[in-house]
Amino acid sequence: MSGRTSITLLSLGHSCVDVYQGAVAALVPFLVAERGYGYAAVSGVVLAASLLSSVAQPLFGAVTDRRPLPWLLPVSTLLGGAGIGLCGLGDSYGSTLAWVALSGIGVAAYHPEAARVARALARGSGHRGMAWFSLGGNLGFAGAPLLVAAVVGLGGLRLTPLLLLPALVGAALCLPVLRALARQRAAGAGPVSRPGRDDRAAFVRLSLAVVCRSIVFTGLSTFLSLYVTQRLGGGSGAGTAALVVLYAGGAVGSVLGGALAERWGRVAVAGWSYLVAAVAVAGVLVVPGPALYVCVALTSAGLYVPFSLQVTLGQDYLPSRIGTASGITLGLTVSIGGLASPLIGGLADATSLRTALVPLVAMPLLSWALFRTLPEPTQPPVEPGV
């Protein structure tokens, strides 16, 4: 099986996993409607998905740096689906948190190993290969609100077991990739590792920039549907549409980021994208009427263009620890945004949702400022073995 086919299958499998990251935020309006959860309570659900994932992804990355574990791909996909599939059963808030946390662990186990495999399969294609891998995840995010609306919107939370179906598909898609990797290892045909010197200071600054991105993205993911419904009316459909726009922009942004970076460099492209995102987030809060959706789309593009670029930058800043770098840029710093959600929810309960979202405007500006301090890596692309 060719590397391009493997990347395609891996990207599709990635979409089946990231459905479950997007599903957590998409379930928020239904948890509010059916169970009467307040802003702080639903923020706790998002936190449950994020907290264990934040801690676990770098740990899984460190483990896979020592020993590749490709079997984690199908197993973690099934765990992610099982958690979301079972979270709607029963009325206990504690059980809901536990099932969502299980899903977060599955997502955490998937990403470091999958990013390592994707970089290996991409070989010399660099940014574009990782961009196509990231595209799959972004499509999964974008499809999550539609899937949740189709299942839970029609039959209520009791139908969440149907949300297991993408996990079954994703696990099946992993199997041909695993067979191809096994054949490569048997033939001794894996790519050659060419690690350079670690730049830990740059990696720390990059990680802080991704944390700021995570806070604004997770905050909007959690509360955008409720906010748009309040602003525009139209029931849950208006809010679901806004989430779809927020996530769907990632499909364009990830691929566009890879193409732009080959011409102007990853650091410059990511930095300017964050400036666009800051203006767009402000627009979400002040622009009246349906034009708000345009601002949501620009926010999505500004936040997603840097997404895959940050993963490869992290890998190039820590070339001797590809799994750890992937676990942090895809995991700890991305999921840690969920830690801010309860603060936003508590502020919204005390004031208003619009007021609580205002601090998010500053986050992309901080990311931009941090990117201005980063060097563009000059070493050749890392090509880890499989």
Question: Residue 4: is its pLDDT beyond 60?
Answer: yes
* pLDDT confidence of residue 123: 62
Question: Residue 382: is its pLDDT beyond 70?
Answer: no
Question: Residue 317: is its pLDDT beyond 90?
Answer: yes
Question: Residue 383: is its pLDDT beyond 60?
Answer: no
Most confident of 248-252, 305-309, 331-335: 305-309
Mean pLDDT across 350-363 = 93
Mean pLDDT across 279-304 = 93
Question: Residue 384: is its pLDDT beyond 50?
Answer: no
Question: By C-alpha distance, which of 102, 52, 100, 54 is closest to 76?
Answer: 102
Whether the CB-CB separation of 9 and 177 falls below 8 Å is answered with yes
Average pLDDT, the chain: 84
pTM for this structure? 0.75
Question: Residue 115: is its pLDDT beyond 90?
Answer: no
Most confident of 34-43, 106-115, 288-297: 288-297
* pLDDT confidence of residue 306: 92
Question: Residue 330: is its pLDDT beyond 90?
Answer: no
* pLDDT confidence of residue 247: 78
Mean pLDDT across 186-192 = 54
CA-to-CA distance for 245 and 13, rounded, in angstroms?
A: 22
* pLDDT confidence of residue 187: 65
Q: Report residue 31's pLDDT band, with 50, 70 and 90 as the boundaries.
A: confident
Q: Report residue 341's pLDDT band, with 50, 70 and 90 as the boundaries.
A: confident
* pLDDT confidence of residue 2: 62
Question: Residue 358: is its pLDDT beyond 60?
Answer: yes
Tens digits of residue pLDDT in 252-268 = 787 788 788 888 999 99
**Least confidently predicted of 122-126, 185-189, 207-211, 248-252:** 122-126
Mean pLDDT across 190-204 = 73
Above pLDDT 70, what percent of the chain? Answer: 90
* pLDDT confidence of residue 271: 95
Q: Report residue 202's pLDDT band, with 50, 70 and 90 as the boundaries.
A: very high
Cβ neighbours, 10 Å, residue 94: 9
Question: Residue 201: is its pLDDT beyond 70?
Answer: yes
Tens digits of residue pLDDT in 119-134 = 777 665 556 677 788 7
